[in-house]
Amino acid sequence: MKTKTLLTALATTMAVSFGVSASAVTLKEVQDRGTVRIAVANEIPYGYMDMSGKAKGAGPEVAQHIMDELGIKKIEWITTNFGSLIPGLRANRFDMVSAEMAILPQRCKEVLFSEPNTSYGEGLLVAKGNPDDIHTFEAFAKNDKKIAIMAGADQLEMLQELGVSEDRMVTIASNADAISTVATGRASAYAATSLTVSELAKKSDKVEPAADFTDPVIGGKPARSWGGFTFNQGSEDFRDAVNGELKKFKQTPEWKKILETYGFSEADAKESFSMTTEQLCAAK
């Protein structure tokens, strides 16, 4: 009994020493289990559950195809707030995230990403009529208005780069809170991707996408994000298997049709090939 305890402690120590996460998974482990746990943030059109409980969005539909090809027939879909995706992954609440999370250097230090599945630009949700005449992220570095962002989203880093002070930022827990936050004047605008802004605007006549919007310029380049599937550190085997099937699927009309169904443009689809995860993780 003491020997078994000693060996267990030694294995745990070695795992920690070599940086292996206790919640890492391999392809074989998932295949043997027969079920993969995939998280979404209930964000249309990236990854969400519809009223019937079916997973929808650019991430889940592509993930479903990939899991089928890998021989994993059952998916347990788990919904959580966007800000809880990485902590939940690291806490072993799920094996993979299918939220089209932007691949960013700081996130690459915490989790593993697949190659990009999508690419998308930015947008602003404003009150009907845009009473504060807001058309750019940069405007908030020059005025005294407040801008809403979602907890854990990469718009925080963009605004910080543009010199917007944190006392001008209103952090909300989910996209569902954005409409009331903007409509009631708690914030002059909500910063999100262009696709998210368009979807939110469809839900209420009290808000609209900011017209004549100009993408923020970060480091001399218009901001554009590349979204991929997310895995825990140590799950390289599973991530690589997903990458192999994703690469093949992106060459098919079916993949492109999925993106078009959820509002991604032809330019968005083309741009998804323009950067690799290695490049995105190394970007400054």
Specify whether the backbone of 23 is left (phi greater than 0), alpha (psi in -120 to 50) or beta.
alpha
Residue type, 9: A
Tokens of 90: 């690291």
Q: What is the pLDDT of residues 94-113, one digit of tens each?
A: 999 999 999 999 999 999 99
The model's pTM: 0.79
Are the C-beta atoms of 75 and 64 separated by less than 8 Å? yes
Are the C-beta atoms of 191 and 149 separated by less than 8 Å? yes
Q: What is the pLDDT of residues 190-245, one digit of tens each?
A: 999 999 999 999 999 999 999 989 889 988 888 899 999 999 999 999 999 999 99
